[in-house]
């Protein structure tokens, strides 16, 4: 729907048109036909054409976005809206389905994230968006359910936690739903995006293992009896207590700690030997004398 309006200026013409249509400015496209001019005798009014924008649903807006995105990434896929009730479903039709899906669905998952962001723009509650190609989502869902049941049985058999590879929120939700009614295991998501993953924990596992093991890297520390068997039950050896030298130690030892000028410590230097004499063990002589040096008279 389009209609022409006039006024003294362009703004007056637009304002008059919006009031008549009862629409906000963002819901119409404005085309200026005449700027409006003043002449010597009279003036030429401004004219604008207002075209009401087509009101698109959230799904239609996402499809229109993909129509512009897919050629930019070199894809010939054509998007179409398949459903918009509980969730928005967009089908991609292409001759090369593998190219648009990508390795482990990485390409189509990225397209789905972008389409979901566009569809939920301006919404207060989030609406789920699914982008599918060649029935890939249904086949992937069946595969994930089989993997979940197989790994759950493995976790119960080994009585250990089993960690799956990182997945997007949509695939993690499938794992949780597949094992929600299980009486043997429960699931939990761990990690941070984009490397968030699902962990399957058996209910018959011990509480210590369920918490990730003990402090020693998840390994059990040896108990006291085990240590006694491995290293023996001998206690540490005790040694005699040595007494410190008394204050009356001879000056020649030089080991007295009394520094108050009492006998046993010579102030002003080291006197005698400190430690053990390293001589010849076979020497029978108990003492060796050193000849005294003759005194020399003081020089005047």
CB 185 within 8 A of CB 155: yes
Burial label for 201, CB within 10 Å (0-12, 13-18, 19+), is: middle
What are residue 201's DSSP bridge partners? Answer: 186
Q: Has residue 257 been placed in a domain?
A: no
The string of pLDDT tens digits covering residues 52-63 is 877 888 999 999
CB 211 within 8 A of CB 201: no
Q: Has residue 232 been placed in a domain?
A: no
Q: Has residue 121 been placed in a domain?
A: yes
- State the CB neighbour count (10 A cutoff) for residue 223: 9
Q: Has residue 283 been placed in a domain?
A: no
CB 188 within 8 A of CB 159: no
* Average pLDDT over every residue of 274-279: 46
Among 32-41, 100-109, 230-239, name the one with the lowest average pLDDT: 230-239
Q: Has residue 245 been placed in a domain?
A: no
Q: How confident is the model at residue 71 (pLDDT cuts 50, 70, 90)?
A: very high
CB 188 within 8 A of CB 175: no
Q: Has residue 40 been placed in a domain?
A: yes
CATH number at residue 71: 3.30.300.20
Query: 43-44 and 37-38 as β-strands: parallel, antiparallel, unpaired?
Result: antiparallel
User: Looking at residue 205, what is its pLDDT?
Assistant: 81
Q: What is the pTM of this model?
A: 0.53
What whole-number percentage of the chain has pLDDT above 90? 35
Task: Collapse the DSSP code of 260 into the 3-class scheme (helix H, G, I; strand E, B; otherwise coil) and give the result.
Answer: coil
CATH number at residue 177: 3.30.1370.50
If one counts the domains in the chain, the total is 3
Q: Among the three residues 72, 105, 134, which one is the final residue of a domain in this structure?
A: 134
Report how far residue 70's alpha carbon sits from residue 76's, in angstroms, rounded to the nearest whole number.
Answer: 7
Q: Among the three residues 184, 210, 236, which one is the final residue of a domain in this structure?
A: 210
Q: Do 66 and 84 belong to one domain?
A: yes
Q: Has residue 221 been placed in a domain?
A: no
Q: Has residue 111 been placed in a domain?
A: yes
Domain of 31 in residue numbering reads as 2-52
Q: Do 29 and 48 belong to one domain?
A: yes
């Amino acid at each position: 729907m389009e209609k022409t309006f006039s006024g003294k200026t362009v703004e007056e013409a637009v304002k008059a048109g919006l009031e008549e249509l009862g629409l906000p400015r963002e819901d119409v496209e404005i085309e200026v036909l005449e700027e409006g001019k003043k002449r010597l005798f009279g003036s030429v009014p401004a004219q604008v054409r207002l075209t009401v924008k087509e009101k698109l649903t959230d799904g239609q807006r996402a499809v229109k976005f993909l129509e512009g995105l897919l050629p930019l990434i070199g894809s010939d896929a054509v998007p179409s809206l398949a459903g918009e009730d509980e969730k928005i479903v967009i089908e991609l039709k292409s001759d090369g389905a593998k190219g648009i899906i990508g390795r482990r669905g990485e390409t189509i998952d990225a397209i789905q994230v972008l389409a979901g962001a566009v569809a939920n723009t301006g919404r207060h509650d989030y609406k789920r968006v699914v982008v599918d190609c060649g029935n890939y989502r249904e086949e992937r869902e069946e595969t994930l359910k089989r993997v979940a049941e197989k790994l759950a049985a493995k976790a119960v058999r080994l009585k250990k936690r089993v960690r799956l590879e990182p997945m997007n929120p949509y695939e993690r939700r499938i794992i949780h739903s597949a094992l929600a009614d299980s009486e043997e295991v429960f699931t939990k998501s761990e990690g941070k995006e984009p490397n968030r993953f699902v962990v399957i924990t058996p209910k018959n596992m011990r509480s210590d293992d369920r918490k990730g093991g003990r402090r020693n890297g998840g390994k059990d520390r040896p108990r006291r009896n085990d240590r006694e068997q491995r290293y023996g039950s001998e206690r540490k050896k005790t040694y005699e207590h040595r007494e410190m030298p008394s204050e009356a130690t001879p000056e020649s030892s030089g080991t007295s700690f009394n520094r108050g000028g009492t006998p046993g410590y010579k102030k002003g230097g080291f006197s005698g030997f400190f430690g053990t004499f390293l001589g010849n063990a076979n020497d029978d002589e108990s003492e060796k004398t050193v000849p005294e040096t003759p005194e020399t008279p003081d020089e005047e």
